[in-house]
Structure 1
Amino acid sequence: MIKEWATVVSWQNGEAQLNCDVKTSCNSCASRAGCGSRILNKLGPQTSHTLSVACDTPLVVGQKVELGIAEGSLIGSALLVYMSPLVGLFLVSALFQALFGTNLAAICGALLGGVGGFLIARGFSLKLSRRESWQPVILSVALPPDVLRVETVTSADDR
């Protein structure tokens, strides 16, 4: 089970809206200047994701919850999203190359196969996302933010 903490945005009728912050490994290693991942992370504007999760326990805005998702569903979705366009690209490109015998046909086949593979992945992902085993679940719930309060008392003698 892969686990991640999220913050409650809202809770109504047994459904919680949760905000998950995207964590990157940038700024944690010594090779920040020449890192390609760091540059790619700067290009993407989205730093958090909002998702809906079923929860019977009433939650408070700002409360932290631990989410979990099965490794198999995560690996399966990654394979679907990355491999189907790639397989489509190679298969249709090879087919067009064999049928027409030109590089232009192979390029057109690669484009058609990649887009077709993407559309197939999109169609399957909509069906697979309805499976209960592919949904994130709430594993644990932290205390609401207003329950725990820490006070420090300093006396005149400590100064």
Structure 2
Amino acid sequence: MIKEWATVVAWENGEALLRCDVKASCNSCASRAGCGSRLLNKLGPQNHHILSVASEQPLVAGQKVELGIAEGSLIGSALLVYMSPLVGLFLIAALFQGLFGSDLAAFCGALLGGVGGFLLARGISSKLSRRADWQPVILSVALPPDALRVETIISEDGR
């Protein structure tokens, strides 16, 4: 189970709206000067994700919850998203190269196969996202932000 903490934005009728902050580890890596991932992280302005998760327990805005998702579903979705366009690209490019015998045909086939693989992954992922075992679940709930209060009592003698 892969775990991550999120903050409750709203809760209504058994559905919690959560905000997960994106954590980039680029500031702690020794090779950050020559890393391409650091540049890619700087391109996107998005520093959090909003998602909706079922929760029977009433939650308060600002409350922290621990989310979990099964490793199998995460690996399966990553394989689907990355491998379908790649397999489509190679298969259709090889097919067009064999049928038409030119590099231009192979290029067009690669383009069609990549786009077709992407569209296939998009269609399959929308069906898989409805499965219960592919959904994130709330594992634990922290105290609401107003539940803990610290008071400092100063005695008359100043201690």
TM-score higher than 0.5 here?
A: yes
Superposition pairs of residues 1-159 of structure 1, within 5 angstroms? 1-152=1-152
User: By how many angstroms is 1:154 displaced?
Assistant: 6.5
Deviation at 1:32, TM superposition (A): 2.0
Does the C-alpha gap of structure 1 residues 34 and 153 become closer, same or farther in structure 2, counting only changes over 3 Å? farther
Letter matched to residue 146 of structure 2: D
Superposed displacement of residue 149, structure 1: 2.3
CA distance in 2, matches of 1:71, 1:127: 18
The range that moved more, 37-46 or 23-32, is 23-32
Q: Give the root-mean-square deviation of aligned CA atoms.
A: 1.4
TM-score by length of 2: 0.94
> Structure 2 regions of 5+ residues with no counterpart?
none
Q: Which amino acid aligns with 1:54?
A: A
The runs of 5 or more residues in structure 1 that have no matched partner are none
Distance 1:30 1:154 in 2: 48
Of 57-66 and 144-153, deviating more is: 144-153
Amino acid at match of 2:64: K
Q: Please, what TM-score do these two structures have when normalized by structure 1?
A: 0.94
Amino acid at match of 1:12: E
2:56 aligned counterpart, secondary structure: coil
Give 1:157 shift: 5.5
| 2:139 partner amino acid | L
Structure 1 stretches of 4+ with a deviation exceeding 6 A read: none
Q: After TM superposition, give the deviation of residue 150 of structure 1 in Å.
A: 3.0
> 2 CA distance for matches of 1:153 and 1:83?
62
